[in-house]
Each structure stands twice: as structure tokens, then as C-alpha cells.
Amino acid sequence: TQFKEHVFWEEEIYNPLHSGMIWFGMNFLGQDEKSLTVLLPDLVSGSEINAIFQMYSFTSEKQHINWSLNSNSASSKAFYAYRLKDLYFKNILGAKSGENELAIKYEGKNPTSQLYLDWIEFEYPRRLSLKNGALFFNTPVDGRRYRWAVSGVTESSTLLFDVTDFRSVRLLSDWTLSQKNLQFSLATRYDKPLRLMAVEPKAFQTPGSLIKDETSDLRNRQNGADFLIITHSNFYNAAMGLKNLRETHGRMATTVVKIEDVYDEFSGGMFDPTAIRDFLKYVYFNWNKRPQYVLLFGDGDYDYKNIIGNADENWIPAYEDSSLAEYTTRTTDDWYAYVNGTDHLVDYSIGRIPSQTTDQAENVLNKIVNYESNPDYGPWRNTVTIVADDEFGDLSQGNDNELMHVLDAEDIAEHYYPPLFNKKKIYLMEYPLVLSPAGRRKPAAENDFVQQINKGCLMINYLGHGNERLLAHERVIQISKDLPRIINAGRLAFWIAATCAFGRYDMPEEQSMAEQLMTEADNGAIALLSASRDAFAQPNADFNKRYLSKLFITPHRTRRIGDALRLTKISAINIVNDEKYWLCGDTTLNLAVPRLKVELQKISPDSLKALSKILVTGSVLDKGQIAADFNGKVDLKAFDSKRPTA
């Protein structure tokens, strides 16, 4: 006539790290007290209950929590935690059937002590009685046979099910109805409880609506492609435009798949990021031709349930891990590409176009098409810009001698970029510091950086501090001020930002600067490689160097930007730091590196003087052979020879 019931209470309100899948309910600060209502249906009168509280504390010192039901004597526990913590309370008196008032008092050591309540689970003896025509209940775990009597049954058409395994639900028919009691006999198991359900037809639920599903052939093993695009239906036309470009110019078999079809086939039509990986795993092992490249066409964020707001659709969801540590929590598209085995080696070259509107999707498509089909020739293709933060870090922490950024930048400039490139170096430590009411600034560096972006360059490489809205404490570039100043149509750079969070693409209420550079009409960037979370200087610089070493096959030839990233990730030294980096842009993109080489044979006279005429002879080579059909312009620039400086 009774069973052991479990009632679970949970609220999802706060995500203190703005990252990950774990959300919390009530927030306690310092000395704080809050209350809530808990429903305990059909509790056996006079019974004791047990409870488990799961909490997360941002304080490592000793703390206390006191709680009581219906103003009865409080239960108290002291604990230490800078993590998820479970507190167990047993044999609690004062509960009643129905609504119960739960009061929670938190006592932190100081005013900044902070605690989040994750969930509470109550265990209590409950009467076997239908509630609103239905009841779920569990059996003991002892292997014995029991005779059960479920009260409150008014219909002989009541159904009894064993729903222990949702994949194999069983209808139980061996029962009798006597004086509104459904009676039956059943043997329990030794390994786990059975989950049973008694339900009257009046409690059956009906769907709110029926929508005809458009069938897809994603599980057709004859499918195959070189390039697979997973897009939200809002961006389908832009994705088809990219497919057309790749098939006509790159001879790359391309398949476009709607995320809605992925959900239908791999998560029962439900929104679920896991469906993307399950689909990609199926493709990897079953399609006739396995794609090498995967593009996620649409933005995503960590607010899967639209708790913060429903302003966006979470077009292509970001995978969020479950870490609650500030420097390890992360989002990573790499997870979708971990399909062969249990290792952390990406099996696809994967990238993302973080569009939120059809205009943004078309902007990105048009930039890629123009970059490849209507190239703007000029010296910008031979130019790379290397920007390094200065020695001043967070001065409140005494970081005023950070030389590693400029040292790493110089190493990269001289040893990882081929010598054929003209290297424009913007090292902030060489610029005058201006102290303003808003903080320290270096306006000359900011202006030089924006001017160089507008002149155009093949690549921009930044090392130093940053966040989702700016680079460097001195704000060498920032969204609000500098994005409107960037006018570089036809001369778009591929950015590498070896810094913190510049590419934080999973924010539900705004887009990072990396995303805005990518989705800006005509101007901005052709692609970006940046981190989605806070990262560390040395692993960032190491990642930067490894990527460049994979990108350049020869001085005049590069891998596709996605291939270089896949090879870099495979050679990961710091997996957590590397997983924070993602490719914002088309993973199949080839950079506009000059394909031809100019070989100078004679300069006469060999000494250059101002206003004098110089005769230069040489050859234009293609793969080491004279390009006999070349007809164009050669841009000549003379540089002073390198000289040691004190």
C-alpha cells in the first residue's frame, strides 16, 4: 500500500561562468536566507523523510547551511567546498502531505562568500494511490514477490505498465480491481528497482499538434561527399551558394544537410547537440564516400533552454562541456569531430560560420565568392601583419614585465612566416603610452593597426591579452570604436588571434568581435582562428607556431585553413587549451598566397641612389619553371638590409 517515493526539486536560473551545461537555482551571498515550496504528494502521515542537497560554492572556507520544514526544528551542517557538494540529511521530521514550506539559511564566513543551490532530492514513504488518474512507482530491490494494492482506481479500463526500460515497455494484465483497489502480485529484482505505471484513460496525454515530416536520406549508405555542410534552414540558400562555388571552382563534391533533418534522424526530432556527433559518426563509418571537411553554418550558444531569453534559435548548437573550473570550462566544435575511437583526435577538418541572420549568411558567402572568384591583386597578398601586446598586463596583479608576447611575435615573424612576405610589425611596447580617464591607451598603435587592416594583408597575427570585445588592455582594437573604421573590401585578411576569448561565439545575447569581423558585409575578415574562452600565453604561442608550420607547405603553397587546423589539433600538447581554438569561416578555404615566384637576376647599378633609374631583370616562375604565359605587373619594393641594433 506504500512505496519509497523520490521528489526532485530543481531551478535553472544562473550560469555563473557563462559557460557549460550546468545551471543553478537559488544564489546565497554572505549571511542569507531564502524559502521555497516543496510538494510531497500522499506522504504517509507521521513519516520521516530523507533529503540530499547539491550545491556549488565559490568559497573554500568553512560554511554552514541550516534548513527546516514548516517551521520545525532546523537541520544543520558545516562544510568546506570550492566545488559541487552533496549534503545528506536523514530522518527529518515535520513534513506533511501536500505543500511544505522549506526555509534555507546560509552562513558564509564573510560577506563575499557565495553558494548556489543546484537541486534537492527528497525521499519519503508515499501511499500507493492514483493522483489525477495516474501513478508512477518503484519496487524494492530484494528479489522478493510482493502483493500490491493501488487505491483510487475508478475505471476498469485502467492500464498497468512496466516502464523500467523505455525501449521495452511491457503491459501487465494479471491484476484485479476490487473496491477501487488495483491488486496484483509481482516479483522484484536484485539488481535494480522496477519502474511501474498505473494510468486511467482519462489521464492519457494527447499531442498539441501534428506536423508532417519531410523525409531525408541521411542514412543512405550510398551518400558521399568531400565537403559536408550542416546548416539551419534559415541559411540554406547561402549554404547552397557555397556548395555551388566549391563544386564549380574546386571540383569538390559537396552535400548540404539541414540541422532539422539531423535531429529527426538522430535525436527523435529533439534539439540535441549530440545528434550532430552521432550523425557525423554515422557518416564517417557508413557513407560511400567519407567527407574530409565539415562546416557548421549557423551560430550557437550555451543557453540550450533559452533561460536567459529566446531572442535566438540556437541555430547550430555549440557543444558545452560540464566543467565548473574557470580555466577549463569551454565550448568546442572539436567534440563533434571526435568520431573514431575515444581519443581527442579530430577526424574531420571542421569549421563554423556563426551567422544569426540571412543577411549575415549572405555577407559571408559573398566575401568568400569574391575572395576566390574576383581576386584583388596587389602587394597586400605578400603582406602579413604581426601585432604584439606590450609588457603591461594586469597592473593590479603586478604584471608589468610581460615580454613574452613580443618575443613570441618576433620568433613567429622571423621563423614561421616564409621570407617572401613583407612583415609589418606593430609591437605595442614601441608606442607611446597615453593615460586617460578610461585607462592606459596607445592611440598611435590603434591607428597604425586600423590603417594596416585597411591597406590589406594576407594574414593578421596577434599575440597578447584580449577578450570578446577587444585586443590588449590598451584597446589596440575594439568593437564599438574600430569596427566601423575597417574598410578593406577585396583585401580581407585571415586572422590568428592567440589570445583569450576573442572568438567567444556562444554568448546568447551578443556576438564577439571575431564573429562580427566574419559576418560584416564586404569588410572585416575572410576567416579567423581564435579562442572561445580564456587561454594561456605560452600554450597560445605554441599553438600559433604549430598552426603556421602546418599551414605553409612551401613559401608559395598553403594547405586549406581547415586542414592545417586539423593537423595542429592532432599534434596537441595542451588538449584543453587547443580545444578552445576554433575556425570561424569556411574550413575548405585556400588563402590567396601568391602562386608565382619572381627571381631577380640582375640589378644595374647595384647601388641605389635617390631619383636614379635602375634596370632590374628577372624571371617569373611557376613551380620552378618560367611562366611563359605570364602577362601582368610586378610590384617592386626595396628594403634596407638588416642591421643589428643595440
- Residue type at 26? M
Please check the confidence at residue 598 and state whether its pLDDT lies above 80: yes
Q: Residue 316: is it exposed, middle or buried by C-beta count within 10 angstroms (0-12/13-18/19+)?
A: buried
606 pLDDT band (50/70/90 cuts)?
confident
Q: Residue 299: is it exposed, middle or buried by C-beta count within 10 angstroms (0-12/13-18/19+)?
A: buried
312 pLDDT band (50/70/90 cuts)?
confident
pLDDT at residue number 602: 86
Q: Residue 443: is it exposed, middle or buried by C-beta count within 10 angstroms (0-12/13-18/19+)?
A: middle
221 vs 312, more confident: 221
Give the pLDDT confidence of 446-471 residue by residue, as tens digits: 999 999 999 999 999 999 999 999 99
CA 312 → CA 21, 307, 358, distances in Å?
18, 11, 13
pLDDT at residue number 215: 87
Q: Which of 30-44, 261-275, 552-566, 591-605 has the lowest mean pLDDT?
A: 591-605
Please check the confidence at residue 339 and state whether its pLDDT lies above 80: yes
Q: Residue 7: is it exposed, middle or buried by C-beta count within 10 angstroms (0-12/13-18/19+)?
A: middle
400 pLDDT band (50/70/90 cuts)?
low
| Strand order through the sheet with 145-150 | 145-150, 181-187, 175-178
The region, left, alpha or beta by phi > 0 then psi within -120 to 50, assigned to residue 365 is: alpha
Coil, strand or helix at 28 = strand
59 pLDDT band (50/70/90 cuts)?
confident
Average pLDDT across the chain, whole number? 93
pLDDT at residue number 15: 95
pLDDT at residue number 250: 82
Give the pLDDT confidence of 252-302 residue by residue, as tens digits: 999 999 999 999 999 999 999 999 999 999 999 999 999 999 999 999 999
Q: Which residues touch 84 (CB under 8 Å, ≥6 apart)?
A: 54, 55, 56, 118, 324
Q: Per-residue pLDDT averaged across 157-162, rounded?
A: 96
**Among 567, 586, 580, which Cα is nearest to 229's?**
586
Please check the confidence at residue 645 and state whether its pLDDT lies above 70: no
Q: Per-residue pLDDT averaged across 227-233, rounded?
A: 98
Grid cell at residue 507: 554568448
Query: In the chain, pLDDT over 90 holds for what percent of residues?
Result: 80
Q: Which residues touch 111 (CB under 8 Å, ≥6 apart)?
A: 29, 30, 31
Q: What is the DSSP string of 503-546?
A: T----SS---HHHHHHHSSSSSEEEEEEESS---HHHHHHHHHH
| Cα dihedral value 11, 15, 21, 25, nearest 10 | -20
Interatomic CA distance for residues 194 and 464, integer angstroms: 58
Q: Which of 98-102, 239-243, 592-596 has the lowest mean pLDDT?
A: 592-596
Give the pLDDT confidence of 526-583 residue by residue, as tens digits: 999 999 999 999 999 999 999 999 999 998 899 999 999 999 999 988 999 999 999 9
Query: In the chain, pLDDT over 70 holds for what percent of residues?
Result: 98
Q: Per-residue pLDDT averaged across 589-610, rounded?
A: 86
Pairing mode of beta strands 293-297, 170-172: unpaired
Grid cell at residue 413: 615573424
Where along the chain do the CATH 3.40.50.1460 domains lie?
Answer: 376-584
Please check the confidence at residue 504 and state whether its pLDDT lies above 60: yes
Give the pLDDT confidence of 145-156 residue by residue, as tens digits: 999 999 999 989
CATH says 2-127 is which class?
Answer: mainly beta
Where along the chain do the CATH 2.60.120.260 domains lie?
Answer: 2-127
Residue 422 pairs with which residues in a beta bridge? Answer: 383
Whole-angstrom distance between the N-terminal and C-terminal Cα of the chain? 91
Interatomic CA distance for residues 352 and 406, integer angstroms: 30
The pTM of the full predicted model, rounded to 2 decimals, is: 0.92
Grid cell at residue 513: 568581435
Pairing mode of beta strands 293-297, 227-231: parallel
Interatomic CA distance for residues 120 and 87, integer angstroms: 10
- Residue type at 499? T
CATH-assigned architecture of domain 376-584: 3-Layer(aba) Sandwich (3.40)
